[in-house]
Structure 1
Amino acid sequence: MTDFPLTVARIAALRDRMEQTGTDLVAVGPSSHMAYLAGVHPHGDERPVMLLISQSYAGFLMPALNSAAARKDTDLPFHCWRDDQGPDSALAELLEACGATGANLSVVLDETMRTDFSLRLLDAMDSPRRRFTEDTVALLRASKDEAEFKAIKDAHLVNDTAVKAAFAALKEGVTEAEIVELIKSEYAALGATLEFCSVCFGASGAFPHHTSGASKLERDTAVLIDTGCRLNGYPSDMTRCGYFGKPEEGYEEVFAVVECAVKAAIAAAKPGVRASVIDKAARDVITDAGYGDRFLHRTGHGLGIDIHEPPYIAANSDVVLAQGNVFSIEPGIYLDGKFGIRLEEIVILRQDGAEIFSEMPRDMVRVG
């Protein structure tokens, strides 16, 4: 069941942001934004579903087909519509209840909502001014409370156990896909579900988003495992690297560079620092070592209900980080035809710096 007091608190916090940003109406679809604000996870299809929030009212546009299932999760009012009626009349009633019938109102749209839902809402209003959620819902979600911290921590402890088991299971002839299945089974045994998993043998690690397949492990081969589970609504995410057999020439040198980049980024991660500063701290280490053109992506991404969400730790991000922000630090070096090394931690910003969720060391794992 939904924690209704939590919903009240989060909507109250959103209304404070709306007042500060001159926002008249916030509209979210069946997404993680809706789950965050109201604890509701309605079935998503072509039938318009929206939660509209103004200073005076909050309610759902809800297909009658889904209302009974959704009702157990919220006590907010529903404006229901049937397939033989269409949603326009119910949407007009909801807008009137929100006091959102005037001209030139400032509307925040859920950037993950279906385009036809957004356009239907905008077409029902009189010349609205629209933007997305960066300074309202997304900003609130970026600052995690202690309950969210515990959920994310618990997911990472499960992840630690699964990744350790995966490295321990490495043997000649095992496939990437078989290690993925082992990780999935470890998650299930601990009450979690697979969020994603990329197991990379040898040169496959040079592809940051490799899809694991039938490649068989041979001796003296690099191994990269990037995986995450979901537990109690929140995910984990971690990358560890190692070697099955004897490391090839240059591997340990590159590993040491990436580890130094992780440490530099963690040291730079403090409340009040711009995201670009953290990216630069990691990137400078890798560039100074001569691998700048082999660091192919941003340094990190936020993590919460979604495994990728704001804030993004990138060279072009001027976002000022705040206490409670949760994000990844994951620099990497990718050498085509040889191997890739990425070391990833998820951290939360405390008053005095970054706290790491995982308790598994980043040391190079040696097997066989």
Structure 2
Amino acid sequence: VQATVPHNSGEPNTPISLGVPIIFDLFPKETKGYFHDVTRTWCFGYAPDDIQGLYDDVLGCFKVVKNTSASGLSTGDLQELACKYFRERGHPVIMDDPELLEGYPHSLGHGVGLDVHESPFIGSGDKNLLSKGNVFTIEPGLYYPKRGLAVRIEDTLYLNSEGKCISMTDVPYDLVVSVE
């Protein structure tokens, strides 16, 4: 249930249960001072059908936005793309309701560097332009607190000298973690 509130740190005594999604948001900092930011949603043992469906929608959105990200593109356009993707799949989105608490209720991402959250910011109304050399995250997520459902995926990305978007995150996109 704690995973259903974006960026909730949880409670230390909550047991891990089979089939219950856990959102891991990791933002290590290198010795030189640079951050990395990655989020994965995992279910231990198995994923219930409703979680698998949300996961498929979030991963699909992530891939569409990543493959669209390029030098010169407005960050606000990326947020609009994510909202359109989720809206077409029946999810409420923040662009339609700024007070939204379920569905897709947050911005798409942010720059990463000496701070874990820095420019360019990728949200509704943002007019930053992506440029070669930018390091930023894409982190679409869907949250349904009343149903106990949530999924988020995040990678740190880099726009190389050709303006192509490259993932700097080497963590598999597997939803289910096998347990023996």
Specify if TM > 0.5: yes
Where in structure 1 are there 5+ consecutive unaligned residues? Answer: 1-202
Residue 212 (structure 1) shift: 2.6
Residue 246 (structure 1) shift: 2.8
For residues 187-235 of structure 1, the C-alpha deviation after alignment (integer angstroms, 9 at most, x for no partner) is xxxxxxxxxxxxxxxx211111212322111222212111111112111
RMSD (CA atoms): 1.3
8 Å contact kept, 1:268–1:277:
no
8 Å contact kept, 1:236–1:307:
yes
- Between Structure 1 and Structure 2, whose CA radius of gyration is higher? 1
Residue 359 (structure 1) shift: 1.3
Match of 2:83, SS state, is helix
Within-5 A mapping of 1:16-55: none
TM-score by length of 2: 0.87
Equivalent residue in structure 1 for 2:129, among 299, 320, 326: 320
8 Å contact kept, 1:241–1:343:
yes
Give the corresponding residue for 1:140. none
Equivalent residue in structure 1 for 2:108, among 299, 303, 313: 299
Equivalent residue in structure 2 for 1:348, among 148, 158, 167: 158
* 1:344 maps to amino acid: E
1:209 corresponds to 2:18: no
Match of 2:29, SS state, is strand
Alpha-carbon distance between aligned partners in 1 of 2:67 and 2:18, rounded to the nearest angstrom: 36
Give the corresponding residue for 2:35. 235
Alpha-carbon distance between aligned partners in 2 of 1:367 and 1:205, rounded to the nearest angstrom: 20
Give the corresponding residue for 2:86. 286
Where in structure 2 are there 5+ consecutive unaligned residues? Answer: 94-102
Give the corresponding residue for 1:335. 144
Within-5 A mapping of 1:36-115: none
* 2:18 maps to amino acid: R
Give the corresponding residue for 2:18. 219
* 1:366 maps to amino acid: V
* Higher RCO, 1 vs 2 (CA within 8 Å, ≥6 residues apart): 2
Alpha-carbon distance between aligned partners in 2 of 1:260 and 1:219, rounded to the nearest angstrom: 24
Higher helix share: 1
How many residues of Structure 1 are paired with residues of Structure 2 in the alignment?
A: 166
Match of 2:22, SS state, is strand
For residues 34-56 of structure 1, the C-alpha deviation after alignment (integer angstroms, 9 at most, x for no partner) is xxxxxxxxxxxxxxxxxxxxxxx
Residue 366 (structure 1) shift: 2.4
Alpha-carbon distance between aligned partners in 2 of 1:220 and 1:310, rounded to the nearest angstrom: 36
For residues 53-76 of structure 1, the C-alpha deviation after alignment (integer angstroms, 9 at most, x for no partner) is xxxxxxxxxxxxxxxxxxxxxxxx
1:359 corresponds to 2:170: yes
Within-5 A mapping of 1:189-208: 203-208=1-6
For residues 237-276 of structure 1, the C-alpha deviation after alignment (integer angstroms, 9 at most, x for no partner) is 1001121123223111110000010011111110011111
* 1:210 maps to amino acid: N
Alpha-carbon distance between aligned partners in 1 of 2:163 and 2:27, rounded to the nearest angstrom: 27
Residue 280 (structure 1) shift: 1.7
Give the corresponding residue for 1:255. 55
8 Å contact kept, 1:262–1:330:
yes
TM-score by length of 1: 0.44
Q: Would you identify which runs of 4 or more consecutive aligned residues in structure 1 move more than 3 Å? A: none
Alpha-carbon distance between aligned partners in 1 of 2:85 and 2:172, rounded to the nearest angstrom: 21
Alpha-carbon distance between aligned partners in 2 of 1:336 and 1:307, rounded to the nearest angstrom: 26
Give the corresponding residue for 1:23. none
Alpha-carbon distance between aligned partners in 1 of 2:158 and 2:27, rounded to the nearest angstrom: 17
